[in-house]
Amino acid sequence: MSLSLALSNALSGLNVNQNSLSVLSQNIANANTEGYSRKILNQASVYIDGTGAGVNIESVSRKVDEYLLT
């Protein structure tokens, strides 16, 4: 593994974690807001020719608790 590939892997992981922390902080800040639904960041591994090439944000999905809505 080359140094540039290793640094690219690390950078993609740091970027995804930064976005994950952003989503988490929004969830905490809006915990008592009426009608707010929790958001979850979905991550996916990136492979190139069978070799790990970092991580990617797949999507941000909403999680709604039906019990709390009733």
Percent of the chain's residues with pLDDT above 90: 46
The predicted-structure confidence for 19-41, as pLDDT tens digits, reads as follows 999 999 999 999 888 888 889 99
pTM here is: 0.78
Query: Own/partner pairs for 59-68, CB < 8 Å, 24+ apart?
Result: 60/23, 62/37, 62/38, 63/37, 63/38, 63/39, 64/37, 64/38, 65/38
Q: How confident is the prediction for the chain on average, in pLDDT?
A: 87
Q: Where are the alpha helices (DSSP H) in the chain?
A: 3-29, 66-69
pLDDT of residue 69: 63
pLDDT of residue 55: 92
